[in-house]
Structures are given as structure tokens and as C-alpha cells.
């Protein structure tokens, strides 16, 4: 058997771009430190809204193929070599926003049997043997059906892999502490006149915002700010990053701050001393 790196991190996301927004600094940091970082993306985001007019012609499968290219470019910026589509490209389609008729498409991820999808993810877990898995909370951060389904599939895959011999020591959900979000938006309001954006989002537009006491772990990725913003910019159909500034917009054209210290809630596993962690692998021995 090929010897595995000492530290192995698996992230499960719904669409290309989610990983760079939520975890780009974390991924870049651990990749630079020599950890094996594996990303599993569940759909190609074929129903995403396209920002640049020059790419507005992209829809459906053509948009999905283009977004796969964006994902490849983003992973190059983050230094991540191992990235995969759950079940292979096109296995699960984008489900669209909650409440739309798209949710009823039998080929979309929302309609997938969670156990079937989890078995595919469990195969990756058994191969990679991650000590840490990162995904969304039960609401998917903000209620998107593909994010909710990614949570369900990831958590079920953890159970299936454990039953088959590989128990992941630590599982985290993506979070943003309320105080950090508030500070970020306060800075944004001051800087808005100098930005190419006209309006700001609100805390309700930021996935995973919770009270500060829910945060168990913070990963300082400020040394990898350039990598994160470049990765976000690589997802050009979905994200516009302010040149040289830590702000971005999605298709709603509402500005948000880019966070390069990223936050998590540990939901499986133990913190070594109960204090807020600064390393996802804290407490994990070299032999794991």
C-alpha cells in the first residue's frame, strides 16, 4: 500500500466555488504544509446564475463543463491536487434554489438517495482515510437543497466508513462567528465608496453565522489570502472579487467581506484541552 501523508483532510461541498469561499484559506494552508487535501464536489452547479455578460450564454451542461474548468483553476491556486466529483462528472445534477421546480428533477442531487450517494463518498473515505472531514451544518449553511443534501451524505458516509473500518477522528461544520461577520461588514461599509460594488449584503446572506460560543476552531489563513482570493476569482461565472481588496459579490451583486481566518464547529471528536483550537488536526496522533 502506498504510504499516506501524516495529515489528511477531506472537504465535501455542493458546487464548484463553495470550497473557495468557505475554506479556501484553510485548504491552501494545509496543502502548503504538506497535508493531503481532498475535495469532493457533489454537483457541477449547472443551474448557477452567471455573472459576466460574456459568459451569459452558458447554461445546463455547458455551464457545468465550464465550472469544472473553473474548479480546476481554483485548485491550482490553492495547491490542491486531489479534487473529485461525487460519482464522477454529471452523476448528480444541480438542484437549483429551494422551492423551485428544479428540485423535482429526478437527476438532481436533491432527489438522490442519500445512502446511495453516501456509499460513493464512503469509497473515497476508505481510500483517502482522512483524519478530518469538513462539510456543512444540517441547514447547509443557508438552506440550499444541494448543501443540505451534501451534509446528509457526508455525515452518513462517515458512519458507513466507520462500519467498514475507517473511523474519521474529527468532523467539522463550516461556521462564521457573528462578531467576525459584524466586524467584516462594518469595514465593508466604510470601504464601499471605493469599491466597484453598489450595495452590501447582510449577515443573513452569509452561510453558517452563529453565536461566537458555538465556534470551536479557527484557522488563521491570512498568509494565504492571495491564494484564496485568486481561487475565488477563478470561479468567474459565480464570483466577482474586488481587485486588490478583500470583498466580493455573487450574482445578487451584494458585497460581502472575504474571510481569511476561517471558522469551524467540531461536531465529532474531542478538543485536546477544551479551548478554541487553531489546528483542525489538534489531538490527532501521527499514527492515525
Provide the annotated binding site for Zn(2+). 15, 18, 147
Q: To 10 degrees, the CA torsion angle through 189, 193, 198, 204? A: -10
Please check whether residue 129 is in contact with residue 8, taking contact to mean a CB–CB distance below 8 angstroms: yes
Which residues, other chains included, contact 257 with Cβ-Cβ below 8 Å and sequence gap of 6+?
181, 184, 185, 187, 188, 246, 247
CA separation for the pair 259, 262 (Å, rounded): 6
Which residues, other chains included, contact 73 with Cβ-Cβ below 8 Å and sequence gap of 6+?
234
Short-list 105, 97, 109, 100, CA closest to 44: 109
DSSP structural state of residue 120: H
Which residues, other chains included, contact 56 with Cβ-Cβ below 8 Å and sequence gap of 6+?
50
DSSP letters spanning 18-36: HHHHHHHHHHHHHHHTT-E
List Cα–Cα distances, 188 to 185, 212, 244, in angstroms: 5, 20, 14
- 21: cell is 469561499
Please check whether residue 141 is in contact with residue 147, taking contact to mean a CB–CB distance below 8 angstroms: yes
CA separation for the pair 174, 11 (Å, rounded): 10
CA separation for the pair 252, 33 (Å, rounded): 35
Q: Which residues are annotated as a binding site?
A: 15, 18, 147
Amino acid at each position: 500500500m502506498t504510504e499516506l501523508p501524516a495529515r489528511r483532510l477531506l472537504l465535501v461541498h455542493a458546487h464548484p466555488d463553495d470550497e473557495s469561499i468557505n475554506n479556501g484559506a484553510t485548504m491552501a494552508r494545509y496543502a502548503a504544509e504538506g497535508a493531503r487535501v481532498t475535495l469532493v464536489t457533489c454537483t457541477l452547479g449547472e443551474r448557477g446564475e452567471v455573472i459576466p455578460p460574456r459568459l451569459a450564454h452558458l447554461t445546463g451542461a455547458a455551464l457545468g463543463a465550464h465550472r469544472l474548468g473553473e474548479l480546476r483553476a481554483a485548485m491550482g491556486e490553492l495547491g490542491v491536487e486531489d479534487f473529485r466529483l461525487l460519482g464522477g462528472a454529471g452523476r448528480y445534477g444541480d438542484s437549483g434554489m429551494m422551492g423551485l421546480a428544479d428540485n423535482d428533477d429526478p437527476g438532481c442531487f436533491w432527489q438522490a438517495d442519500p445512502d446511495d450517494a453516501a456509499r460513493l463518498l464512503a469509497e473515497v473515505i476508505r481510500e483517502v482515510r482522512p483524519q478530518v472531514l469538513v462539510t456543512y451544518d444540517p441547514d447547509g449553511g443557508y438552506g440550499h437543497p444541494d448543501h443540505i443534501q451534501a451534509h446528509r451524505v457526508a455525515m452518513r458516509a462517515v458512519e458507513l466508513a466507520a462500519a467498514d473500518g475507517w473511523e474519521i477522528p474529527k468532523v467539522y461544520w463550516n461556521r462564521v462567528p457573528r462578531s467576525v461577520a459584524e466586524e467584516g461588514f462594518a469595514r465593508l461599509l466604510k470601504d464601499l465608496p471605493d469599491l466597484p460594488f453598489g450595495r452590501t449584503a447582510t449577515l443573513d446572506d452569509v452561510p453558517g453565522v452563529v453565536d461566537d460560543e458555538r465556534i470551536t476552531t479557527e484557522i488563521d489563513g491570512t498568509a494565504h489570502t492571495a491564494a484564496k482570493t485568486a481561487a475565488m476569482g477563478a470561479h468567474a461565472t459565480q464570483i466577482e472579487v474586488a481587485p486588490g481588496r478583500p470583498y466580493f459579490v455573487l450574482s445578487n451583486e451584494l458585497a460581502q467581506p472575504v474571510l481569511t481566518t476561517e471558522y469551524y464547529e467540531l461536531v465529532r471528536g474531542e478538543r485536546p484541552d477544551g479551548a478554541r483550537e487553531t489546528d483542525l488536526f489538534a489531538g490527532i496522533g501521527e499514527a492515525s
